[in-house]
Chains A and B, each alone.
Chain A
């Protein structure tokens, strides 16, 4: 179903993409049963640990738009994550040589009386203050469980302030309780940008690539790669300006480093403005970057140049990769990441010669917005050997149980608050925090050396594991990892 930009909020991933957060089985089984229009239903858990919500994901993208502001209509705790967003803000600004300032965000500090009499007065004050204090080019109003349940009329308040606040003020529907899939918050943010910021193209910019990402650490590398084929990246949406976002409709092509992140925005730009969205596997590892660059090349008619670039990059790195493979041969790993990375890294670790025993995915989109199954999982399922595969919204009790059973040499994880638990079990944990880890040929080689380093000195994890205890009962370690996952309805 095409993306609808005439409605005020993006439908959640469960409704749009058949996204699930509960599954235990194998990779091939999951792929086979979600192929060609067939879908599986989500399995609920009768025990769970605290997950993450849409609001955090929406704010992590929007808080770092250079000249926009956020009004978070919520009790003050819902802004707890803004502390970390500000760390990201300083980090990003420092490395871009932008001026030193804090994120521009106001929390409306909802209290008991607001839940009784409504919080619209607070919201009005918040928007006016954001305008007065920051003079931003746009204001995003993020919602919360509290504002959602009491039913504050966000759009009403915004429309009443139209004359006083002469910039786009855009609601972002990201109440935590609405979706179990925190990535729904990415879509809420993109929907707001698409409906409130992006303008119809005035002219095509044939060399411009919309590069959908998070923190953009590989800017120099990508700029160099793209430069070789006559293209120029624009990294969105963190650290972009409102003006830059207004004209993403003029780009020649949209690409992403994370297909979970990029689906909504990429598909919408393609459907709405005819900008091709690169639908290959993500650009991690040799196979990833090569497929991805070919996808970009095909979209802009640069196939020949891309082949030459690939040949050069491969030639510059192949020998080193062979050496790394030799050193990592025989190591065994478990993966726990968001779906795009969990799938993509199965390929990455193959290329490094690491055997993956089990993969856990923080959720699973049965198809993307353009209708297809995620390409990286299809590629992984096409391998000869099947592996066990689970889906859970970072349910660490399941992961811990699995790790203690499989005792891998390595645990690769993405998302804060996951790797450390493997380290406490004495397993060498390699967190994939930066989205450009293993990006491209050179990134894969760097990642390989990082893993070798991690395995070379295991003193910290070994000694830690001898002394700390994890918070689980002995009983739990004796159970099946998925004891609390309900059986699928047949």
Chain B
């Protein structure tokens, strides 16, 4: 039995609706109760970096607003009517039907309804994402299984084209900037990234997915199902690089790994890395004065985030900033089969440093574990806005990096790559310096 949750750090499977919103001109249609869309948008977007509604989000999302009638007599008729009129009213290139608890419990045959529109030429797919089936990490993968199986067509392979599977849009409030930055890194070694989400080509980029030379999965485990399904269906190979590259060390090793896999000449990769590192260290050198000439330094660090961020941030803070880990918390439900993979990555840090890791979505674990510890210096606590309370009690330095981030407006900010690591360094030391002035 899954544990009860205090202080939510993710939502339910229907949260996949926000992954649809992240694709320009893709229109979600939700077959669910009246409050689902509002709650999920509020938690993932509005209260998480104030990311906004975008083209078709928030209260513009078509929804059946299921009532007692649909629960008792079934909601297929209501869904059919809603889809038919959505196609008239909403201007989009792909329509994605997602179901909620009401439909999945009463057992509406959503597939049958959706197929009838598809048969008439509508660009439409569906996924059954009832909230009780799992979290939004799980729902996101269901969404992609649906798009792959119901929408994608084989096409000619383009050398150098790389599908980028990495961020979980909106759950990660920094997703948009992060994706753009990863795209720039790939371009810097001569590859063509297909980014799918955020500003760009929208649904056209989805149609190009089968044309990729390979799929790049840049995440500890989310997306593995997606790239495997693409391999089965289109024989597209994939490279799995589990760590979000932040800072010179990890970004260099990321570029080398991708370059080698893609067949980019080593000299191209090395020239790029050298150029970027020179620029990066120009700034890092200047930060050294603050780090070594002042008293304003954090003690050990704590990270409370999903495995994607917990791992990426820990790598950077240990391998590049030279900080000491106290304890890390991985907040999403990592499926059993992927746990060894995540654990192995948490054991690979420079200087043979090891950091205890706790797994689980219940915010109380954070308090219980942190209260047990002695912090000799004021700790650096990278977590969500929930964690600012315990951070204050421990006289720590809080920086909000994980859902929910309700104390920052986030537009294009990212911590990824070279430039992102500089932003993160600025953010961390600005929190420290502004804590007493």
Contact = CB atoms under 8 A, between A and B. Distances in A.
Interface string A170-190: 000001111110100000000
B68 interface: yes
Interface stretch (B41-49, B158-166, B218-226, B413-421): B41-49
B344 to A, nearest CB: 27
A421 B53 CA distance: 9
B251 to A, nearest CB: 32
Most interface-central of B10, B68, B361 (chain A CB within 10 A):
B68
B90 A55 contact: no
Contacts of A397: 60, 89
B65 interface: yes
A149 B8 contact: no
A115 B106 CA distance: 11
Contacts of A450: none
A47 B131 CA distance: 23
Interface stretch (B31-39, B289-297, B320-328): B31-39
B406 A83 contact: yes
B30 A50 contact: yes
B392 A100 contact: yes
B82 A84 contact: no
B400 to A, nearest CB: 12
Contacts of B13: 77
Contacts of B19: none
B62 interface: yes
B14 interface: yes
Contact of A472 (B39, B40, B91, B105): B91
A77 B14 contact: yes
A52 B406 contact: no
B135 interface: yes
Nearest to A148: B71
A46 B85 contact: yes
A101 B91 contact: no
B61 A49 contact: yes
A418 B59 CA distance: 8
Interface string A55-78: 110000000000000000011111
A83 B4 contact: no
Interface in A195-217: none
A37 interface: no
Contacts of B386: 86, 102
A146 B62 contact: no
A53 B63 CA distance: 13
Contacts of B88: 47, 473, 475-476
A154 interface: no
A150 B107 CA distance: 13
A83 B48 contact: yes
A76 B1 contact: no
B280 interface: no
Interface string B80-99: 01100110111110000000
B177 interface: no
Nearest to A48: B65
B8 A79 contact: yes
B2 interface: yes
Nearest to A144: B101
A20 B39 CA distance: 22
Contacts of A146: 101, 105, 131-132
Contacts of B42: 80-81, 83-84, 416
A180 B5 contact: no
A397 B34 CA distance: 16
Most interface-central of B3, B36, B37, B130 (chain A CB within 10 A):
B36
B67 A180 contact: yes
A38 interface: no
Chain A interface bracket (under 10, 10 to 19, 20 to 34, 35 or more): 35 or more
A472 B14 CA distance: 23
Interface in A450-489: 469-476, 484
Nearest to B66: A177
A77 B131 contact: yes
A323 interface: no
Contacts of B389: 100-102
B34 A472 contact: no
B1 A113 contact: yes
Contacts of A49: 37, 59-63
A119 to B, nearest CB: 9
Interface string A116-133: 000001100110010001
B60 A110 contact: no
Nearest to B364: A133
A430 B392 CA distance: 36
Most interface-central of B38, B62, B100, B131 (chain A CB within 10 A):
B38
A177 B36 contact: no
A111 B131 CA distance: 8
Contacts of A394: 59
A110 B65 CA distance: 21
B86 A105 contact: no
B336 to A, nearest CB: 15
B34 A129 contact: no
Contacts of B44: 80
Contact of B101 (A47, A75, A107, A180): A75
Interface of B: 1-8, 10-15, 27, 30, 32-44, 46-48, 52-53, 55-56, 58-68, 70-71, 81-82, 85-86, 88-92, 100-102, 105-106, 130-136, 361, 363-364, 385-386, 389, 392, 404, 406
10 contacts: A76-B11, A80-B40, A80-B42, A81-B38, A102-B386, A107-B4, A397-B89, A417-B41, A473-B91, A475-B89
Given A48-B82, A51-B37, 17 more contacts: A47-B81, A49-B59, A50-B37, A75-B130, A75-B132, A76-B8, A78-B12, A80-B40, A86-B406, A106-B5, A107-B5, A109-B5, A110-B131, A149-B101, A177-B70, A416-B42, A471-B27
